[in-house]
Structure 1
Amino acid sequence: MLRVLAHSWPLLLGVMLLMVGNGVQGTLLGIRGNVEGFSTFQLSVVMSAYFVGFLFGSMRAPAMIRRVGHVRVFAALGSLISAILVIYPVFPDWVAWTLLRVLAGFCFSGIYITAESWLNNTATNETRGQALSAYMIVQMLGIIASQVLMNLPDTSGFALFIIPSVLVSLAFMPILLAATPAPTFESTRRLSFRELFRISPLGCVGMLLTGGVFSAMFGMASVWGAQVNLSVREISMFVGALYVGGLVLQYPIGWASDRMDRRKLIMGLSFIAAAAMAITAFANPPFVVLLGAAVLLGGITNPVYALLIAYTNDFLNREDMAAASAGLIFLNGFGAIFGPLITGWMMETFGSGGFFLFIAILFLALGTYALWRMSQRAAPAVTGGFSSLSPTASSLAVDAVLDRGQGGRG
């Protein structure tokens, strides 16, 4: 690990600063939108817009990089992000914020792909696993650190918009000055969604559902917190707890997944999450219990995402894994677009508990579908190793995980 840090610390530092900036933006807009008088539905549209841009960016960024080079794309998208972050308070209108969020999602998607390609390019086959583990850890730490900044006493002013803009600008310095050669992008064979569904129905349906869970969690958590009159400190603690859960529970769940039928684990975790979220929706628990629910929710959502990718790969030859991962990530991103929209509608229809109720319904659907699929097909005879993955990782990072984690299969 020390060897990885010695070679990759500029990239990892830059990624952490990017995640701090993006994390502040995601939480702050939900709080500030409530101050500006936006309705829950309007804020849900604003939050969904990020995932529209992110999905589009994941499809277009590799072509842009091949055409003009990764340095130019990185600099252009980074400059646009810095500008967007300081424009939000200048135009406190939900339609303007929606358009800005689409641009922000597009830019961050391109930035992640560029940073991940750099990291992958600097790593060797022997160090790639450690490098990607470090990458996932700094992503989580960056988001957790961003919630500390949310406690600065200026949610109604400009400072909390300027600080992430500065952090994003500073993030480019270590990355752009890193003495590493430019990575290359090669075309990847595509799998049709029909073929992907034939290979793994559970993988496809699960990725759609977890996309909705992930975007509802991280897009609407601050909106929910403002609606139930939590303080800024409490909202930041709740959002931070979601990521702490993902950081802490990823490894033990991954360890268990390599020793049992992954579908049983997906089913069990989904039912646990569904029950916990349903209870939270109707019980009106104290704040300390809400923090525990957040740790559990984040700790289940991130590993289940990785479990679905690992389960699908159990049925694939190595040469098909990259194409399958691209399709699964697209399905996850498509599902993410609708998460905040439906959550916003449910919060307006059923009250603040609709936030947890929507997530409970999605996990219940996933657990039920996993149970049904277990009656339709036997578990694969050979399973590959589980690798920690985050829904914020691009297909390039996932492909790199597959290269080091599944290289022995064929």
Structure 2
Amino acid sequence: MLTVLRNSWPLLLGIMLLMVGNGMQGTLLGIRGNIEEINTFHMSVVMSAYFGGFLLGSRIAPELIRSVGHVRVFAALGSLISAVLILYAAAPHWIIWAMMRVVIGFSFCGVYITAESWLNAASSNETRGQAMSAYMIMQMIGIIAAQLLMNVGDPAGYLLFVIPSVLVSLAFTPILLAATPAPKFETTQRMSFRQLFDASPLGCVGIFLMGGVYSALFGMASVWGTRAGLSVSEISAFVAAIYVGGLLFQYPIGWVSDRMDRRVLILALSAAGAVAMAAVVLGNPSYAWLLAAAVIIGGIANPIYSLLLAYTNDFLDNSDMAAASAGLLFINGLGAISGPIVTGWLMDVTGDGGFFLYIGVLMAALAVYASWRMTRRPAPTVEQTGAFAVLSPTAGVLAVETALEAAQEDAQDVA
């Protein structure tokens, strides 16, 4: 890992700064929307628009990179991100924000793909898995750090919009000045959804459901916090707790998953998540319990996402891995678009608890489906499975593909 940090620190630093900027804008808009008296449903549309743009970017950005090159796409999309982050405060209307969120989602998708390509090119075959692990860690650290910065200014002013814009602009400096040359980019072959579903029904359904969970957590946590009357510091701590849980639980859950039927672990974790969310909805939790619930759901949702990818990978040939990764991320994106909108509607219908209710229902649905799938076919033996790879829902296709390939190679080396 030290070798990876020494060789790739400019790229990893740039990625962390990008995630600080992205993490700040999501939390900040939820709080500023309340100040501007934008209703919950309109804010849910704004939050959903980011995932629509991200999904669009996953289809278009690779072609742009292939046509004009990494550097031009990187610089152009980075400029768009910085501009939009500033313009949010100048045009506080939900329709304008929604259009801006489409642009910024598209841009971040393209930037992630480009950065992942560079990081992949900067790594050797021996260090590629470690590099992607460091990439995931930096992403989560960036989002956690973003929540700390939420407390340095007034969300009703301009400073908190300027800070992420500046940080995103600075993020491109270490990446563009890194000695690593721009890599050759190849468009990933696509696997049909029918083929993907035939390979792993649980993987496809689970990834769709987890897309909804992640987008609700990433997009609607601050909207819920403002409705619940939390202060800026309390909202930022709540959001940070979600990612602290994800960072802490990934590795121990991954270690366990390599030694048992992954479906049992998916069932147990999703059921635990559903129970935790039910306790929040049905109880009258203190703020301390809300923080604990945030750590629990973050510590469950992120590893389940990685588990589902690893489980699907267990039924694929190495040659199909890249195509399957692209298909799974597209399914995840479809689920993510619906997450904020359904959450916003539920909060209007049922009250603030609709935020936790939505996440709990999706977790319960995954637990039920996983238990049913366990009756449909036997699990692969531990010797037949690949290794668990730490992955984040914010990662692009290349990162997922590379991390899964590295995990597969590690598993074969151990065997």
Q: Confirm or deny: 8 A CA contact 1:322 1:402 kept in the other structure.
A: no
Q: CA deviation at 1:188?
A: 2.5
What is the match of residue 116 of structure 2?
116
- 2-side partners of 1:66 and 1:188: how far apart? 11
Q: Which consecutive unaligned segments of at least 5 residues does structure 2 have? A: none
Q: How does 1:315-394 map to 2 (within 5 A)?
A: 315-381=315-381, 382-394=384-396
In the other structure, the counterpart of 2:269 is: 269
Of 275-284 and 366-375, deviating more is 275-284
CA distance in 2, matches of 1:402, 1:299: 20
Q: CA deviation at 1:290?
A: 0.5
Is the 1:148–1:236 Cα contact (8 Å) retained in structure 2? yes
Alignment RMSD: 0.8
Please list, as runs of the form range in 1=range in 2, the aligned pairs for 1:23-172 lying within 5 A after superposition: 23-172=23-172
Contact 2:153–2:159 (CA<8 Å) still a contact in 1?
no
Secondary structure class of the residue paired with 1:322: helix
Taking the aligned partners of 2:405 and 2:287, their CA distance within structure 1 comes to: 43
Q: Letter of the 2:171 partner, please give it.
A: A
Letter in 2 for 1:335: G
CA distance in 2, matches of 1:332, 1:28: 24
1:5-63 C-alpha deviation (Å, 9 max, x unpaired): 11101001101111111111000000000000000000000000000000110111111
Cα distance, 1:154 vs structure 2: 1.1
Residue 246 of structure 2 is aligned to residue 222 of structure 1: no
State the AA in 2 paired with 1:356. Answer: F
> Equivalent residue of 1:195, what SS?
helix
- Count of aligned residue pairs for this structure pair: 409
Contact 1:248 1:299 in 2 (8 A): yes
2:400 is equivalent to residue 398 of structure 1: yes
Mapped to 2, the partners of 1:402 and 1:24 lie a distance apart of: 29
Counterpart amino acid of residue 251 in structure 1 = Y
- 1:339: Cα distance to partner? 0.2
**DSSP 3-state at the match of 1:148:** helix
> Which amino acid in structure 2 is aligned with residue 392 of structure 1?
T
C-alpha separation between the residues in 1 aligned to 2:325 and 2:15? 22
Tell me the amino acid that sits aligned with residue 398 of structure 1. Answer: V
State the alpha-carbon separation in 2 of the partners of residues 152 and 33 from structure 1: 19
Structure 2 letter corresponding to 1:318 = N
Deviation at 1:91, TM superposition (A): 0.6
Q: Take 1:395 and 1:2, find their aligned partners in 2: how far apart are those partners? A: 25
Aligned counterparts of 2:138 and 2:371: Cα–Cα separation in 1? 35
Distance in 2 between residues matched to 1:397 and 1:320, nearest whole Å: 15
Tell me, in whole angstroms, the C-alpha distance in 2 between the residues paired with 1:189 and 1:173: 32
Q: Deviations over 1:134-173 (max 9, x none)?
A: 1111111111000011012311000000010000000010
Structure 1 gaps of 5+ residues are none
Amino acid at match of 1:294: A
> Could you state the TM-score of these two structures normalised by the residue count of structure 2?
0.97
Secondary structure class of the residue paired with 1:379? coil
* Residue in 2 that maps onto 1:19: 19
TM-superposed deviation, 1:402: 2.2
Letter in 1 for 2:12: L
Partner of 2:294: 294
Give 1:190-201 correspondences, 5 Å limit.
190-201=190-201
The answer to whether the 8 Å contact 1:44/1:220 transfers is yes
Deviation, structure 1 residue 401: 0.9
Q: Deviations over 1:168-188 (max 9, x none)?
A: 000010000011111112233
User: Distance between the aligned counterparts of 2:219 and 2:189, measured in 1?
Assistant: 32
| 2:236 paired residue number | 236
Q: Alpha-carbon deviations, 1:342-385, whole Å to 9, x = none?
A: 00000000000000000000000000000000000100131100
Are the aligned partners of 1:281 and 1:353 in contact in 2 as well (CA < 8 Å)?
yes
The answer to whether the Cα contact below 8 Å between 2:210 and 2:332 also exists between their aligned partners in 1 is: yes
